[in-house]
Amino acid sequence: MLVRYGRMRALGLFEHNEATIPSTPTRVVIKTEKGVELGTIVGGISTYRTGQLKLSDEQLKKYFDDSEIPFTSEPAGRFIRYATPEDINEEKHFQKIAVEETKFCKKLTKEMNLPMKIVDAEHILGGERIVFYFMSDGRVDFRDLVRKLAQEYQTRIEMRQIGARDEAKILGDVESCGQKCCCIRYLKSLKPVNMRMAKLQKATLDPSKISGYCGRLKCCLRYEDDTYTELKKRLPPRNTLVNTPEGKGRIIDYQVLAQMVMVELETGTRTAVPRDKIEILGQYQPNNTNIKPPRENAPKESTPEESIPEERTPDEDFPEENNTTEDNTTEDNNTDEKPNG
């Protein structure tokens, strides 16, 4: 069966011996590498037949490929039983305890002056492990912190470093669109978003309008990037000389979605013209009084120093943001501590 589980809402295949699978969303108790956890079966009744997941490996890979997640058909653990009301109540109890554990860990990091921000804690259902999620600019030596936490709670401690987008995935709330953050609702992976996408889609680069709950560029800027990029290719670049129904002029701006160009006419007035109503004449040359289209096979003339330079690609100066979770984890088994950092 395909199950979603854990604080980070991971997906994995789990072995079971049940003859049938419920047709409604069902909570299950599973055994993972972290311990006993609660999860939710993914997929409708059509996905399962006689208790078996009928999706092929290719179909499962396609489900993950949209977010470029490497998928393995190897089992992530095993199914124990369907969750009972007692299991649900125990989960709620551990969620309340996790709040206090987070506060206590924050207090210790402040006392020990550690350069890390404790985001949340996850108390595994079986009680055999507590996972603390934290943020930091680099690697942190938290061996003493892990030792004190293990002494306090008498269980295994795991510290897992996450990024800003992962923090929003754990703590996120309603976004400016009125919906819950996409990373909470359905995003399987947080792919990179760069400034080129924002510059192409937004008339203003006001940080309050293009930044999400995490303070980074909104993930939804990726959704329409392919469409915007394709539509922009249909529009001539700025400073292109064109012939319009109102006369000749040059393009000074454009509206990608509307497929309109803003043209400054020879008279100095400006007008918006649809893309299919213009005729391209050539490139703007400020020193030329007469506007003439370039001759075919004519030798190329050197560009005057005062001419307007060619438009730069917007993303040349804005590298992609890396949103992947950094790997900086450790555990404490109440026996041996390994240095990390």
Give residue 25's pLDDT: 80
What is the predicted pLDDT for the residue at 69?
57
- Within 16-135, strands assigned E span 27-31, 36-41, 48-49, 52-53, 77-82, 117-123, 129-135
**Residue % of the chain over a pLDDT of 90:** 26
Domain ranges of the chain: 2-83, 88-162+325-332, 167-229, 238-294
CA 289 to chain centre: 51
In this structure, which CATH number among 1.10.10.10, 1.10.10.60, 2.40.30.130, 2.30.30.140 belongs to the domain 238-294? Answer: 2.30.30.140
The confidence score (pLDDT) of residue 66 equals 58
Beta bridge partners of 250: 241, 264
Whether the pLDDT of residue 84 is over 90: the answer is yes
Judge whether residue 108 has pLDDT over 90: yes
Task: Say what the pLDDT of residue 313 is.
Answer: 39
Question: To the nearest whole number, what is the mean pLDDT of the chain?
Answer: 78
The reported pLDDT for the residue numbered 134 is 94
- Is residue 334's pLDDT more than 60? no
Residue of 312, 131, 180 lying closest to 239 (CA atoms): 312
Mean pLDDT is lowest, of 58-67, 84-93, 262-271, for 58-67
Q: What integer pLDDT is reported at residue 51 of this predicted model?
A: 67
pLDDT tens-digit readout, 163-214: 888 888 888 778 888 888 888 877 766 777 888 898 888 767 888 888 888 8
pLDDT at 339: 43
Report the amino acid identity of residue 53. Answer: L
pTM value is 0.63
Output the six-digit token pair for 138: 């680099």
Sign of the dihedral through C-alpha 43, 48, 53, 54: negative
pLDDT, tens digit (0-9, with 9 covering 90-100), for 44-62: 555 666 666 766 667 666 6
Tell me: the pLDDT tens digits for 62-73? 666 655 555 666
What's the CA gap between 172 and 254, in Å, rounded? Answer: 36
Q: What mean pLDDT do residues 135-155 have?
A: 91
Residue where the block lists tokens 């392919």: 226
DSSP string, 219-262: GGGGTTHHHHHHHHHTSPPTTEEEEETTEEEEEEEEETTTTEEE
